[in-house]
Amino acid sequence: MAFLTFKNLHFRQGTWQLAIDAKIERNSCTAIIGPSGAGKSTLLSLIAGFEQPERGAIFVDGEDITVLAPALRPVTILFQENNLFAHLSLARNIGLGRHPGLQLSAQDKTRIEEAVAAVGLEGLEDRLPESVSGGERQRAALARCLCQDRAVLLLDEPFNSLDPALRHEMRLLVDRLRRERCLTVLLVSHNPEEAAEIADTALFVHGGQVLEQGNLEELLKHPQTAQLAHYLGKSKE
Protein backbone atom coordinates (compact mmCIF):
# COMPACT_ATOMS: atom_id res chain seq x y z
CA MET A 1 0.00 0.00 0.00
CA ALA A 2 1.31 3.43 -0.95
CA PHE A 3 2.14 5.82 1.88
CA LEU A 4 1.21 9.05 0.06
CA THR A 5 -1.59 8.97 -2.51
CA PHE A 6 -3.05 11.68 -4.75
CA LYS A 7 -6.52 10.49 -5.76
CA ASN A 8 -8.30 12.37 -8.53
CA LEU A 9 -6.71 15.57 -7.21
CA HIS A 10 -7.85 18.68 -9.08
CA PHE A 11 -6.90 22.30 -8.51
CA ARG A 12 -7.85 25.32 -10.61
CA GLN A 13 -6.35 28.81 -10.68
CA GLY A 14 -8.00 30.95 -13.34
CA THR A 15 -7.73 29.00 -16.58
CA TRP A 16 -4.82 26.87 -15.35
CA GLN A 17 -5.57 23.41 -13.95
CA LEU A 18 -3.68 20.74 -12.04
CA ALA A 19 -4.92 17.15 -12.22
CA ILE A 20 -2.91 14.49 -10.38
CA ASP A 21 -3.27 10.78 -9.71
CA ALA A 22 -0.12 9.27 -8.23
CA LYS A 23 1.26 7.11 -5.42
CA ILE A 24 4.44 7.55 -3.35
CA GLU A 25 6.04 4.77 -1.33
CA ARG A 26 6.95 5.07 2.34
CA ASN A 27 10.50 6.21 3.22
CA SER A 28 11.24 7.11 -0.40
CA CYS A 29 12.69 10.27 -1.90
CA THR A 30 10.72 11.38 -4.93
CA ALA A 31 11.88 14.20 -7.19
CA ILE A 32 9.17 16.35 -8.72
CA ILE A 33 10.62 17.60 -11.99
CA GLY A 34 9.28 19.62 -14.88
CA PRO A 35 9.39 23.05 -16.52
CA SER A 36 8.52 26.28 -14.73
CA GLY A 37 4.78 26.71 -14.32
CA ALA A 38 4.11 22.97 -14.57
CA GLY A 39 2.56 22.76 -11.10
CA LYS A 40 5.41 21.37 -8.99
CA SER A 41 5.27 23.92 -6.16
CA THR A 42 1.47 24.00 -6.35
CA LEU A 43 1.43 20.28 -5.64
CA LEU A 44 3.56 20.81 -2.51
CA SER A 45 1.23 23.62 -1.41
CA LEU A 46 -1.75 21.27 -1.76
CA ILE A 47 -0.01 18.61 0.34
CA ALA A 48 0.92 21.16 3.01
CA GLY A 49 -2.60 22.63 3.04
CA PHE A 50 -1.66 26.10 1.82
CA GLU A 51 -4.01 25.56 -1.14
CA GLN A 52 -7.25 23.57 -1.26
CA PRO A 53 -8.18 21.27 -4.15
CA GLU A 54 -11.32 21.75 -6.17
CA ARG A 55 -11.95 18.03 -5.75
CA GLY A 56 -10.13 14.83 -4.94
CA ALA A 57 -8.06 13.93 -1.91
CA ILE A 58 -4.56 13.39 -0.57
CA PHE A 59 -3.99 10.39 1.69
CA VAL A 60 -1.05 9.85 4.05
CA ASP A 61 -0.88 6.32 5.43
CA GLY A 62 -4.55 5.83 4.56
CA GLU A 63 -5.77 9.07 6.21
CA ASP A 64 -7.41 11.80 4.11
CA ILE A 65 -5.38 14.88 5.07
CA THR A 66 -7.26 17.30 2.79
CA VAL A 67 -9.80 17.75 5.60
CA LEU A 68 -7.06 18.75 8.08
CA ALA A 69 -5.73 22.23 8.81
CA PRO A 70 -2.06 22.72 7.77
CA ALA A 71 -0.82 22.57 11.37
CA LEU A 72 -2.49 19.18 11.89
CA ARG A 73 -1.07 17.49 8.79
CA PRO A 74 1.82 15.00 9.14
CA VAL A 75 3.80 17.23 6.80
CA THR A 76 6.55 19.83 7.08
CA ILE A 77 8.00 21.97 4.30
CA LEU A 78 11.34 23.68 3.64
CA PHE A 79 11.37 26.55 1.15
CA GLN A 80 14.20 28.17 -0.80
CA GLU A 81 14.01 31.09 1.63
CA ASN A 82 14.90 29.74 5.05
CA ASN A 83 12.51 32.18 6.80
CA LEU A 84 14.55 32.47 9.97
CA PHE A 85 13.80 35.38 12.30
CA ALA A 86 16.83 37.66 12.40
CA HIS A 87 16.38 38.63 16.08
CA LEU A 88 16.17 35.03 17.34
CA SER A 89 19.06 32.65 17.92
CA LEU A 90 19.31 29.54 15.78
CA ALA A 91 18.05 27.44 18.71
CA ARG A 92 15.00 29.64 19.20
CA ASN A 93 14.30 29.66 15.46
CA ILE A 94 14.44 25.87 15.53
CA GLY A 95 12.23 25.87 18.62
CA LEU A 96 9.44 27.51 16.63
CA GLY A 97 8.99 24.11 15.02
CA ARG A 98 7.92 22.75 18.42
CA HIS A 99 5.84 25.67 19.64
CA PRO A 100 5.07 28.95 17.82
CA GLY A 101 5.13 30.82 21.13
CA LEU A 102 8.38 29.16 22.25
CA GLN A 103 6.69 27.85 25.39
CA LEU A 104 8.92 24.80 25.44
CA SER A 105 8.65 21.75 27.67
CA ALA A 106 11.59 19.60 28.68
CA GLN A 107 10.62 17.17 25.90
CA ASP A 108 10.54 20.03 23.39
CA LYS A 109 14.03 21.11 24.41
CA THR A 110 15.27 17.54 24.01
CA ARG A 111 13.79 17.37 20.50
CA ILE A 112 15.49 20.66 19.61
CA GLU A 113 18.84 19.42 20.89
CA GLU A 114 18.42 16.23 18.84
CA ALA A 115 17.59 18.22 15.71
CA VAL A 116 20.57 20.54 16.23
CA ALA A 117 22.86 17.52 16.53
CA ALA A 118 21.28 15.81 13.51
CA VAL A 119 22.14 18.72 11.19
CA GLY A 120 25.57 19.38 12.70
CA LEU A 121 24.94 22.77 14.34
CA GLU A 122 26.31 21.98 17.80
CA GLY A 123 28.06 25.03 19.23
CA LEU A 124 26.13 27.46 17.03
CA GLU A 125 22.79 27.32 18.84
CA ASP A 126 23.12 30.79 20.39
CA ARG A 127 24.27 32.53 17.21
CA LEU A 128 21.98 34.88 15.28
CA PRO A 129 21.20 33.94 11.65
CA GLU A 130 23.21 36.85 10.23
CA SER A 131 26.36 35.60 11.97
CA VAL A 132 26.40 32.17 10.29
CA SER A 133 26.77 31.01 6.69
CA GLY A 134 23.96 30.43 4.21
CA GLY A 135 24.47 26.69 4.51
CA GLU A 136 24.22 26.87 8.29
CA ARG A 137 21.02 28.91 8.03
CA GLN A 138 19.51 26.23 5.80
CA ARG A 139 20.64 23.57 8.27
CA ALA A 140 18.78 25.48 10.99
CA ALA A 141 15.67 25.68 8.83
CA LEU A 142 15.93 21.94 8.18
CA ALA A 143 16.33 21.29 11.91
CA ARG A 144 13.15 23.29 12.53
CA CYS A 145 11.36 20.90 10.17
CA LEU A 146 12.86 17.84 11.84
CA CYS A 147 11.85 18.75 15.37
CA GLN A 148 8.19 18.81 14.29
CA ASP A 149 8.34 14.99 14.05
CA ARG A 150 6.32 14.82 10.82
CA ALA A 151 6.42 11.79 8.52
CA VAL A 152 6.53 13.73 5.23
CA LEU A 153 9.23 16.28 4.37
CA LEU A 154 8.58 18.61 1.43
CA LEU A 155 11.55 20.41 -0.12
CA ASP A 156 10.73 23.27 -2.50
CA GLU A 157 14.17 23.85 -4.05
CA PRO A 158 15.59 24.91 -0.66
CA PHE A 159 19.25 24.71 -1.64
CA ASN A 160 19.20 26.64 -4.93
CA SER A 161 20.87 29.72 -3.47
CA LEU A 162 23.85 27.70 -2.22
CA ASP A 163 26.99 26.99 -4.21
CA PRO A 164 27.31 23.55 -5.88
CA ALA A 165 29.48 22.05 -3.11
CA LEU A 166 27.03 23.12 -0.39
CA ARG A 167 24.04 21.90 -2.42
CA HIS A 168 25.72 18.52 -2.67
CA GLU A 169 26.43 18.52 1.08
CA MET A 170 22.83 19.40 1.94
CA ARG A 171 21.42 16.73 -0.38
CA LEU A 172 23.56 14.10 1.31
CA LEU A 173 22.40 15.38 4.72
CA VAL A 174 18.75 15.07 3.66
CA ASP A 175 19.40 11.55 2.36
CA ARG A 176 21.01 10.48 5.65
CA LEU A 177 18.19 11.98 7.72
CA ARG A 178 15.55 10.34 5.54
CA ARG A 179 17.09 6.94 6.16
CA GLU A 180 17.69 7.51 9.88
CA ARG A 181 14.24 8.94 10.59
CA CYS A 182 12.19 6.96 8.04
CA LEU A 183 10.99 10.14 6.33
CA THR A 184 9.10 10.27 3.06
CA VAL A 185 10.64 13.11 1.05
CA LEU A 186 9.30 15.01 -1.96
CA LEU A 187 11.88 17.22 -3.61
CA VAL A 188 10.99 19.87 -6.20
CA SER A 189 13.97 20.36 -8.47
CA HIS A 190 14.86 22.12 -11.72
CA ASN A 191 18.01 19.99 -11.90
CA PRO A 192 17.10 16.30 -12.33
CA GLU A 193 20.74 15.22 -12.43
CA GLU A 194 21.40 16.74 -9.00
CA ALA A 195 18.14 15.33 -7.63
CA ALA A 196 19.22 11.87 -8.81
CA GLU A 197 21.92 11.89 -6.11
CA ILE A 198 19.26 11.16 -3.50
CA ALA A 199 15.92 10.59 -5.27
CA ASP A 200 15.03 7.04 -6.22
CA THR A 201 11.80 7.89 -8.02
CA ALA A 202 10.39 10.89 -9.85
CA LEU A 203 7.18 12.50 -11.02
CA PHE A 204 7.50 14.43 -14.29
CA VAL A 205 4.88 17.17 -14.16
CA HIS A 206 3.97 19.01 -17.34
CA GLY A 207 0.97 21.24 -17.95
CA GLY A 208 -0.55 20.38 -14.58
CA GLN A 209 -0.39 16.61 -15.12
CA VAL A 210 1.96 13.77 -14.20
CA LEU A 211 3.11 12.52 -17.61
CA GLU A 212 5.71 10.07 -16.31
CA GLN A 213 6.46 8.39 -12.99
CA GLY A 214 9.11 5.84 -12.12
CA ASN A 215 12.76 5.27 -11.33
CA LEU A 216 14.51 8.62 -11.80
CA GLU A 217 17.66 7.25 -13.42
CA GLU A 218 15.57 5.30 -15.93
CA LEU A 219 13.45 8.35 -16.74
CA LEU A 220 16.61 10.38 -17.35
CA LYS A 221 18.07 7.70 -19.64
CA HIS A 222 14.92 6.60 -21.43
CA PRO A 223 12.17 9.27 -21.45
CA GLN A 224 8.90 7.83 -22.72
CA THR A 225 7.22 11.08 -23.74
CA ALA A 226 8.27 13.81 -26.12
CA GLN A 227 7.66 16.37 -23.35
CA LEU A 228 10.16 14.77 -20.97
CA ALA A 229 12.68 14.27 -23.76
CA HIS A 230 12.39 17.95 -24.66
CA TYR A 231 12.70 18.98 -21.01
CA LEU A 232 15.88 16.94 -20.70
CA GLY A 233 17.26 18.31 -23.97
CA LYS A 234 17.04 14.95 -25.70
CA SER A 235 15.31 13.79 -28.85
CA LYS A 236 12.60 11.16 -28.42
CA GLU A 237 13.65 8.05 -30.33
- So what's the pLDDT on residue 40? 93
Same domain flag for 27 and 69: yes
Examine residue 79 and state whether it is found in any structural domain, yes or no: no
Residue 96: predicted pLDDT: 87
What sign does the dihedral 188-192-195-198 (CA atoms) show? Answer: positive
Q: How many domains would you assign to the chain? A: 2
Count, residues in the chain: 237
Q: Could you give the CA distance from residue 92 to residue 1 in angstroms, rounded to a whole number?
A: 38
Residue that is last in its domain, among 117, 132, 149: 149
Query: Is there a single domain that holds both residue 160 and residue 222?
Result: yes
14-51 pLDDT, tens per residue? 999 999 999 999 999 999 999 999 999 999 999 999 99
Of 149, 172, 206, the domain-final residue: 149
- 108 and 123 share a domain? yes
Instruction: Give the pLDDT score at 76.
Output: 93
List pLDDT tens digits, range 55-64. 999 999 999 9
Q: What is the pLDDT of residue 237?
A: 55
Listed as ranges, residues in the chain with pLDDT below 50 are none
* Residue-number span of the structural domain to which 205 is assigned: 1-74+151-237
The whole-model pTM stands at: 0.90
pLDDT value of residue 21: 94
pLDDT at 80: 74
Q: Dump the DSSP string for the chain.
A: --SEEEEEEEEEETTEEEEEEEEE-TT-EEEEE--TTSSHHHHHHHHHTSS--SEEEEEETTEEGGGS-GGGSSEEEE-SS----TTS-HHHHHHTTT-TT----HHHHHHHHHHHHHTT-TT-TTS-GGGS-HHHHHHHHHHHHHTT--SEEEEESTTTTS-HHHHHHHHHHHHHHHHHHT-EEEEE-S-HHHHTTT-SEEEEEETTEEEEEEEHHHHHHS--SHHHHHHTT----
Summarize pLDDT for 129-146 with one digit per residue, the tens: 999 988 888 889 989 999
pLDDT at 236: 60
